[in-house]
Structure 1
Amino acid sequence: MNFPALAVVVFFAASAAAQQQCGQTPVPPNLGSKEGNEEIVGGTNAQPYSWPWQVVWCKSGWFGCSLECGGSVIDNGWVVTAGHCVYGSTNSPSSFRVKVGVYSEDSSSESGEQVLEVQAIHLHPKYQANPDPQWDIALIELKTQVAYTNHIQPVCLPSKDSTVVVEPNSAWVTGWGTTTEDGSISKTLRQVKVPFVNPPTCEIDYPHTINEEVMICAGQKNLDTCQGDSGGPLVVQNPNGTWYMYGLTSFGQGCAEYKHPGIYSRVTAYCDWIAQTTSNKVQCQDPMNF
């Protein structure tokens, strides 16, 4: 199809504008220095709806939609989560739902919440389950599109991260995971700020485990994600206030243990695959290009 020159310019301008609207938080998160004794592990209850890309990846059943993992909205037709959250279930998209716009993970009646059916589950072709997850990412293609609101927004994906995911920088992680190792999940969304751990140090903590190409380490004793947080976002705000997701919660030894930070899937490793799988609807952006 041939577009008139003006139409082409308008089309690409609109596309660029749409890409730039990710990473916004109409309800500002509480980023104060208060450290809670309650746990995500080591975090606090989030300001309701202040992490508007956070989703519940859940199994659909007679009694609603039970939490399996976290995830993030990256486009009105796409969600990203960890590969191990969908491993073995890629042929059963109708068994799952994506719940967005909620503060309580078990909610069925929050104002503005949306529960969306899944069209397809795209597990990364290099995914390895054992001994620990590698290439741990999956894209969820939605059957119906997300309607963006003040409670529901997409997060941005970075095209580069070398100056961000290093000590002494930190990131924020969110989820409804267990509040202690092998404990009960949190009914309300929680958040915690975790420090990055450089690969050489992380390799000492996890001998012969860390693949720097596809993994990021972050966290310390008493500050960590836990069971049920898998697939959720690890985000950093760039200088102009836009939020970028640098990692997905993947695995770790226990929860918030000394010398065992959390391991996150490194988003920049997947930019080409994400663009290809989404037919270029989702593309990584330079987080410093503002």
Structure 2
Amino acid sequence: MHKMNKICVYMCLLIQIVNGHISGHIRAHAVNNSCECGIAGNHRRIVGGSTVEPHLYPWLVSLMLGPKLHCGGAIITDLHILTAGHCITFGVHFRDLTVNVGMHDRLATSYSVLHVTNGVKHPKFTSNAVRDINDIALLTLDKKLKFTDKIRPICLPTPDMNFEHTELTVAGWGKTRQGAMTSSRFLLETKVKIVQSPTCSKSTIYKNNLVSDTMMCAYSLGKDACQGDSGGPLFGTHPKTRNKKWYQVGIVSWGIDCAMPDYPECGKPPAAIASMRIVGGRRAEPHSFPWTVAIRKNDRMHCGGALITDRHVLSAGHCFKWDNIKNLEVLIGLDNLDELTDVERRNITKVVIHEKFASSAVRDIHDIAVATLDEPVVFRPTILPICLPEPQQEFANKAGTIVGWGRVGVEKSSSKVLLKARLRILTDEDCMNSKLANHLQPMMMCAFSKGKDGCQGDSGGPLLVFEPDGKYVQAGIVSWGIGCADVRYPGVYTKVSQYIDWIHEKTADGTTCNKDE
């Protein structure tokens, strides 16, 4: 969910799509005309509050990635959901998603769960470290919806409608504040107003990334869409229908932080958000991957790693093979390399590199190592171990996440803040069909997404997969590659599931968390 910490700019393509590329996919299906669009449910919202009365906005849906809230969306026909293009990008395929329809309370069981048979992004969708352009997508459901008071489509506006001075609503189950670790249980709403482009462009970040033809800003002090609301609708009523029907004016797309004072009018995020990234990646929400550690050599970034017990770090063999461990330091609970106040520092007393480790000019084999810390750490929200996969567990075709402070390009410097990127884990067959085929071994796996990759400095860091039980497991270790983000050469990772017994043997004196807790 790459955009969950930067949402404030809303796509304004909705009028254009009626006669554009995406409308053709809508017209391919008959639309249920037995109801009116944009009619709110038969309830009133709580006065002065942010919680929505159940089913007041029956067009709202949540897009789920396993048990995890991924994005929002809106029903526009009995077969189609409108959402953001970035919700089916960065390693997430539309088939990975399920759609919760008719939902208010995420813990209830009365809503319907549907699957997605097709997902179409705008053909001109593009992305950089801060923003997405033409950030719109249409999802096709696996079966038609039956419209009721709890399930109803939103209306699309006509070209003559103007919402500049209208109070608009954004609603979703996203996180309630910047830095929150969990999403809301109940549907929440907030009211915002459109901010004119000249005002929005006062910030350098917005000035350089705002495309006024297809984007608009909306804001109210202390109110904003936040993590998990990506792809959800920005909507309001219009005098043309005597304010009785609701129209979707925009789609939650991107922004800087959540409801920060004076955004988007002034203020800057840390420069790293705009300029520092794993190739094709995004800034990770601080401490959202609390097992990730930085291994530094003489105060410079050397490798990444993952905490697997209170005293052991899993990393790559090549990170230690040719270095004196006395020159290495491990930073734990780290987000920003310039802010080390609450970071735990440890030296390394011992490193065990796999007995069959071997290296050539191109690649490393059995590229795995366990480093023992000189003193155990105490687990807390910012310092936790990663779960290990089951022996021989496979992750082909799943979405993976890499995190690290590595270089953002072949000739560029390391990042100061933790970055993440979503990749697609390839099948062994696809991996062997790449130009790396002559250098691959069964204990290796490939992962790739266009324009994204682990790069120098991310070596030894974890390749993570989010499991249906709501926990991340470490599927791989960043091992080797040719260049950075080159489509001909996917990144290569050590398959952790091939070494579970070896890892347990080397970490028997450590304490970890129960994966099933």
- TM-score normalised by length of structure 1: 0.79
- How far off its partner does 1:271 sit? 1.0
Which residue identity does 1:156 align to in structure 2? C
Q: How many Å separate the matches in 2 of 1:156 and 1:201?
A: 27
Q: 1:148 aligns with which of 349, 360, 379?
A: 379
Counterpart in the other structure of 1:100: 332
RMSD, aligned CA:
2.7
Q: Within 5 A, what are the aligned runs for 1:142-221?
A: 142-160=373-391, 162-163=393-394, 165-167=395-397, 169-205=398-434, 206-212=436-442, 214-221=443-450
Secondary structure of 2:439 counterpart = coil
Name 2:318's counterpart in structure 1.
84
Conserved 8 A contact 2:392-2:497: yes
Change (3 A) 1:267 1:94: same
Consecutive unaligned residues of structure 2, counting only runs of 5 or more, are 1-178, 184-226, 232-252, 255-272
**Pairwise CA distance, 1:207:** 2.4
Q: Contact between 2:357 and 2:367, CA under 8 Å: does it hold in 1? A: yes
Aligned partners of 1:66 and 1:106 also within 8 Å: no
Aligned to 1:59: 297
Please give the per-residue CA displacement for 1:170-195, whole angstroms capped at 9, x wherever unaligned: 11110111111221111111001100
Q: Which residue of 2 aligns with 1:22?
A: none
Deviations 1:87-106 (A, max 9, x none): 123xx332211101111135
CA distance in 1, matches of 2:374, 2:513: 23
C-alpha distance in 1 between matches for 2:182 and 2:377: 21
Higher RCO structure (Cα 8 Å, ≥6 apart): 1
How many Å separate the matches in 1 of 2:283 and 2:421? 9
1:279 aligned onto 2:508: yes
| Cα deviations by residue, 1:124-165 (Å, 9 ceiling, x for unpaired) | 1111111411100110001100121211100011124545x1
Q: Kindly tell me: are residues 283 and 268 of structure 1, through their superposed partners in 2, closer, same or farther at Cα, counting changes over 3 Å?
A: farther
Equivalence for 1:236: 465
Contact 1:216/1:266 (8 A) holds in 2 = yes
State the shift of 1:245 in Å.
0.4
Secondary structure of 1:50's match? coil
- Deviation of residue 79 (structure 1)? 0.5
The verdict on how the C-alpha distance between 1:268 and 1:139 changes in structure 2, with shifts beyond 3 A counting, is same
Question: d(CA) in 1 for partners of 2:492 and 2:316?
Answer: 12
Query: Which amino acid in the other structure matches residue 175 of structure 1?
Result: G
- Please, which moves more after superposition, 276-285 or 231-240? 276-285
Task: Check whether the contact 2:391–2:500 (CA below 8 A) recurs between aligned residues.
Answer: no
User: Which of structures 1 and 2 has the bigger CA Rg?
Assistant: 2
CA distance in structure 2 between the partners assigned to 1:70 and 1:162 by the alignment = 23
Identity in percent: 30
When the two structures are superposed, what TM-score results if normalisation uses the length of structure 2?
A: 0.46
- Give the distance between the partners of 1:95 and 1:271, measured in 2 at CA: 28
Q: Is the 8 A contact 2:385 2:513 kept in 1?
A: no
Distance 1:283 1:116, change over 3 A: closer
Please state whether the residue corresponding to 2:469 is helix, strand or coil. coil
Within 2, Cα distance between the matches of 1:218 and 1:282? 30
Q: Which amino acid aligns with 1:76?
A: D
Match of 2:364 in 1: 133
Match of 1:50 in 2: 288
Q: Does 1:119 align with 2:349?
A: yes
Which stretch of structure 1 is more off in the superposition, 242-251 or 154-163?
A: 154-163
